């Protein structure tokens, strides 16, 4: 269990974020076309997993925009945005913002993802959603960067994540 905060109030996650050097857990999530997609779709590519509570919040939206900008200049890297939002919300947001370089995935059919990745918020007003976290995974499915953002309302450390991608 990890302790994070929401507006300074303590809250907890189920489990721990995967550690640097460990293999990332497999997952199957739902894309904006309602197709189930597994992690192995990107095996052999570097990946950034941006995990967050909801695309319809300012910080989550901003992180998606920033990672989309990076992806536009680095097409060899898979930039994967993950939340509990329905695929319709992901599709609407990316369409409204003209974001074409990130992949959005919903946990709507996977009750295990947030628990397996140690980001399931267990208490407080956001219980049941994912905490804000960024993982960078290498071509062999090994975690090379892991950040569980300590305050849910804060942005992740973009520089560290992009540096781990080799940027």
Tens-digit pLDDT profile for residues 138-148? 999 999 999 99
Structure tokens at 28: 């199957």
Which residue among the candidates 24, 29, 60, 130 is catalytic per the annotation? 60
Rounded mean pLDDT of 37-65? 93
Query: What fold is seen in the domain 2-164?
Result: Glutaredoxin (3.40.30)
d(CA 86, CA 96): 16
Tens-digit pLDDT profile for residues 80-120? 999 999 999 999 999 999 999 999 999 999 989 999 999 99
| Contact call for residues 34 and 109 (beta carbons, < 8 A) | no
pLDDT value at residue 4: 84
Rounded mean pLDDT of 140-158? 95
Which residues neighbour 62 within 8 Å (Cβ) at sequence distance 6 or greater? 155
Rounded mean pLDDT of 56-74? 92
Q: What are phi and psi of 140, to 5 degrees?
A: -105, 20
Q: Are strands 120-121 and 28-31 parallel, antiparallel or unpaired?
A: unpaired
User: Domain segments of the chain: what residues?
Assistant: 2-164
Q: Is 60 part of the annotated catalytic residue set?
A: yes
pLDDT value at residue 68: 94
């Amino acid at each position: 269990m990890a302790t994070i905060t929401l507006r300074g109030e303590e809250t907890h996650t189920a489990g721990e974020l995967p550690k640097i050097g460990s293999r990332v857990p497999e997952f199957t999530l739902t894309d904006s076309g309602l197709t189930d997609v597994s992690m192995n779709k990107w095996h052999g590519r570097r990946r950034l997993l941006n995990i967050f509570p909801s695309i319809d919040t300012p910080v989550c939206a901003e992180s998606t925009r920033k990672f989309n900008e990076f992806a536009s200049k680095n097409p060899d890297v898979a930039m994967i945005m993950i939340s509990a939002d329905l695929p319709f919300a992901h599709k609407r947001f990316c369409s409204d913002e003209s974001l074409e370089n990130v992949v959005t995935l919903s946990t709507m059919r996977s009750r295990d993802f947030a628990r397996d990745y140690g980001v399931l918020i267990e208490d407080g007003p956001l219980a049941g959603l994912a905490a804000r976290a960024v993982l960078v995974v290498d071509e062999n499915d090994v975690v090379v960067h892991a950040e569980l953002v300590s305050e849910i309302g804060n942005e992740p450390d973009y520089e560290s994540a992009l540096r781990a991608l080799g940027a």
